[in-house]
Amino acid sequence: MNLRLVRPEDYYEISRLINDWWGGRKMSDMLPKLFFDHFNDTSYIVEKDEVIIGFLIGFVSQTKPNEAYIHFVGVHPEYRKNQVGKKLYHTFFENVKRRSVKIVRAVTSPVNKTSIAYHTRMGFEVEQGDRTADGVSVFSNYDGLGQDRVLFLKIL
Amino acid sequence: MNLRLVRPEDYYEISRLINDWWGGRKMSDMLPKLFFDHFNDTSYIVEKDEVIIGFLIGFVSQTKPNEAYIHFVGVHPEYRKNQVGKKLYHTFFENVKRRSVKIVRAVTSPVNKTSIAYHTRMGFEVEQGDRTADGVSVFSNYDGLGQDRVLFLKIL
């Protein structure tokens, strides 16, 4: 496995992949090209035999320079027990730590139990929201009406 | 008219507005909450009588700190001859200039003739792409298969 920084041209391959990896859901709207052009110095790819098997897109908050935000993480379904995610997260943490970041944030949907469990294993805490849904604290309507979200925070 | 920096809570009002202003097209997927949380120190709103009539969401490139990118601009259809856009662009230019930015970039669709004309009036040049469509130079498949784009650049 080879881990490297994202390059602008990876956008095309990743756009195609994420629609596959998420079982046909149209995820690529969430990941416009700008992330590959303007935040590629804190975003990573894992390749095996020159095929992308995982990626993490994140950045340092411009408004709050001691915070970083992980926007999107994807791992190839066949490589989900291979520590690909762990490698991506830890490399990101080390990178942003060198940029004086103290807090890393991430957001997920309350229905995404796999993501909630995964973030917990990666050392994230769930932020206290305004209500509890399915045993997890959520921020109601965080991403618009009816779009509750779970907010994660990790102190580096 | 009052111009001010965007605040995180403006997200909810703007998400609602853009679907209206773009004549029912689902534009809000392109503008996730993260821009209101992490790039609100280079993003602006124009209000009239406490109602939002325009906004500009932009940021300084993390990878290329001497470049800025304008992600999304919207003006209320009834206020399109009132220099709202001009005020937003010029305030953004002044802001990023103070942050040592030399180049501002923006992207639009070749079908969006209004946007192309507008950017030209704002002093943007069209970047040389790989082919010409409807008299304008475009980058083929820039945002994915079949998604040609016009790339703009302005030297500050």
How many domains does chain B divide into?
2
In this predicted structure, what is the pLDDT of residue B82?
85
In this predicted structure, what is the pLDDT of residue A86?
95
Q: Is the pLDDT of residue A147 over 90?
A: no
Task: Give the whole-angstrom CA distance, residue A90 versus residue B143.
Answer: 30
Are A63 and B41 in contact (CB < 8 Å)?
Answer: yes
Together in a domain, B97 and B109: no
A38 contacts in chain B (CB < 8 Å): 59, 61-64, 67, 69
pLDDT (tens digit per residue) in A52-86: 999 999 999 999 999 999 999 999 989 988 899 99
Domain of residue B129: give its range. Answer: 105-156
Together in a domain, B109 and B97: no
A143 contacts in chain B (CB < 8 Å): 32-33
Are A143 and B30 in contact (CB < 8 Å)?
Answer: no
Going by pLDDT thresholds of 50, 70 and 90, the confidence category of residue A129 is very high
Q: Which residues of chain B have pLDDT under 70?
A: 24-28
Q: Domain end: A56, A83, A101, which one?
A: A101
Together in a domain, B86 and B123: no
Q: Domain end: A101, A124, A139, which one?
A: A101
Q: At residue B44, what is the residue type?
A: Y
List helix spans (H) across chain A: 10-21, 34-38, 84-98, 113-121
Note the ipTM here: 0.92
Together in a domain, B96 and B113: no
Length of chain A: 156
B40 contacts in chain A (CB < 8 Å): 63
Tell me how close the Cα of B81 comes to any Cα of chain A, in angstroms: 29
Going by pLDDT thresholds of 50, 70 and 90, the confidence category of residue A30 is confident
Q: Mean pLDDT over all residues of chain A? A: 92
β-sheet bridge partners, residue A54: A46, A75
Together in a domain, B41 and B65: yes
Q: pTM, whole model, 2 decimals? A: 0.93
The nearest alpha carbon in chain B to A66 belongs to B38
